Structure 1
Amino acid sequence: MTRFNSLARRGGLATLALLAAGAAQAHPGHDTTSLVDGLVHPFTGFDHLLAMVAVGLWSAAALPAGRRVAGPAAFLTMLLLGAALPQFGLQLPGLEAGVALSVTALAGLMIAARSPALRLPVPAGLALVGVAALLHGLAHGAELGAGQSFAGYAVGFMTASALLHGAGLAVGGWLLQAGQTWAWRATAGLVGFSGLALLAGRL
């Protein structure tokens, strides 16, 4: 667990360093437009919004109180990596369907987190979060507009993603304190159903 904590901290620090570097490079002009587009993008893509809130919810239920940021840190690190890959020409067929499927997978992770018989070990849960993040990052990177700055765009969508993770952690913490198991299951079910609906629309 000590090694796990160290890796989580390193991932979070690496993400913060990359964000800081991007922010330092931003300047008036198209970089500013890219930053705004990046901030808005996670809120306009329903699949992205659901995934990032789901990660926060899962982290609140599956991780110890002092280590809950490990889930969002893992997601943000892989999200940034995935977003960078299309800049080198990487294209993944069926990406949109994969993104929708990842939302359903994260909903399953949420449900399993509240069931001792189904709960995945933390490393396996984080691995699933990382794969989902990579897919979402690839989608973010592929949607970068011509002439936009990747640095500004990345700072924008990473900041928005962190806010959505925070919202998921807050809601998850509230649901756990309230002790309303039905509300947790209903929330996870809604996320899962939405993911399946998105998947059906993309097949």
Structure 2
Amino acid sequence: MAFVSVPRIRTLLLAGLALGVGTAQAHTGHGTSGLWTGMVHPLGLDHLLAMVAVGVWSVSVLPRQRAWWGPAAFLLALVLGAGLGASGLLLPGLEHGIALSVVLFGAMLVLARQPLPPGVGLGLVAAAAVLHGMAHGAEAPDTGFGAYALGFMLTTAALHFGGMALGLALRYQAARYQHWALAGLGSLCSAAGLYLFSHV
């Protein structure tokens, strides 16, 4: 992954943010159906930031052979949460919880130099993923849940991969500034989460 350029990744992330602007905070009141809607739903700013942050955190904190554990924990818990949401089980203040998960992931990046124990970090990742899954499941179409779920899983995996690529680029191409870069990214992520929280 040493060949991945930081400017190219930055461009891709900005493009993703631009795509997500129209769907940010769009968790209720719009029609949902099929694979495409499932793929677009995670591009809301709160989901996008959380999933990219999980990817960056995973390659920055977890042992190299286990970096995939973060995305795997998120994806598995996301499916569980989506099933709960589709069945009508939603937690009070779900949108606030999702925004706070963005704050949490940002804080985890800021603390990457002295990270939480991997088990604790993965537990927080999974708990947050359940909330994000509930939001996805709550908007599941009346028919075709499988295609919808496949769509948001594909986009989630792609966002995780993008975050992992960014984390690896920081490690190999900006090693001297990696911790500062992670702290900066984490601070921006947490600030965005607080903004989203205040506008739910």
TM-score, with length taken from structure 1: 0.78
Q: 1:97 is aligned with what amino acid?
A: H
Q: Give the alignment partner of residue 128 of structure 1, picking from 118, 124, 128.
A: 124
Classify the secondary structure of the residue corresponding to 1:59.
helix
Q: 1:123 is aligned with what amino acid?
A: G
What are the ranges of 5 or more consecutive residues in structure 1 without an aligned counterpart?
Answer: 1-32
What are the ranges of 5 or more consecutive residues in structure 2 without an aligned counterpart?
Answer: 1-32
Distance, in Å, in 2 between the alignment partners of 1:112 and 1:183 is 12
1:139 positional shift:
0.6
Q: Determine whether 1:55 maps to 2:50.
A: no
Aligned residues: 165
Q: 1:54 is aligned with what amino acid?
A: A
Q: Determine whether 1:139 maps to 2:138.
A: no
TM-score, with length taken from structure 2: 0.79
Distance, in Å, in 2 between the alignment partners of 1:186 and 1:55 is 15
1:185 positional shift:
1.4
Q: Give the alignment partner of residue 152 of structure 1, picking from 137, 147, 163.
A: 147
Distance, in Å, in 2 between the alignment partners of 1:199 and 1:34 is 29
1:112 positional shift:
1.4
Distance, in Å, in 2 between the alignment partners of 1:79 and 1:88 is 14
Q: Give the alignment partner of residue 170 of structure 2, picking from 152, 175, 184.
A: 175
Distance, in Å, in 1 between the alignment partners of 2:45 and 2:59 is 21
Q: 2:159 is aligned with what amino acid?
A: L
Alignment of 1:20-35 (within 5 A): 33-35=33-35
> Which residue does the alignment assign to 1:105?
104
1:88 positional shift:
2.1
Q: Contact between 2:112 and 2:182, CA under 8 Å: does it hold in 1?
A: no
Classify the secondary structure of the residue corresponding to 1:113.
coil
Q: Determine whether 1:71 maps to 2:70.
A: yes
User: Alignment identity in percent?
Assistant: 50
Distance, in Å, in 2 between the alignment partners of 1:86 and 1:99 is 14
Cα deviation per residue 1:21-76 (whole Å; 9 max; x = unaligned)? Answer: xxxxxxxxxxxx51111111112x10000000000010011111111000000000
> Which residue does the alignment assign to 1:8?
none
Aligned-residue RMSD, C-alpha: 1.1
> Which residue does the alignment assign to 1:192?
190
Q: 2:72 is aligned with what amino acid?
A: A
Distance, in Å, in 1 between the alignment partners of 2:104 and 2:143 is 32
> Which residue does the alignment assign to 2:85?
86
> Which residue does the alignment assign to 1:36?
36
Q: 1:185 is aligned with what amino acid?
A: A
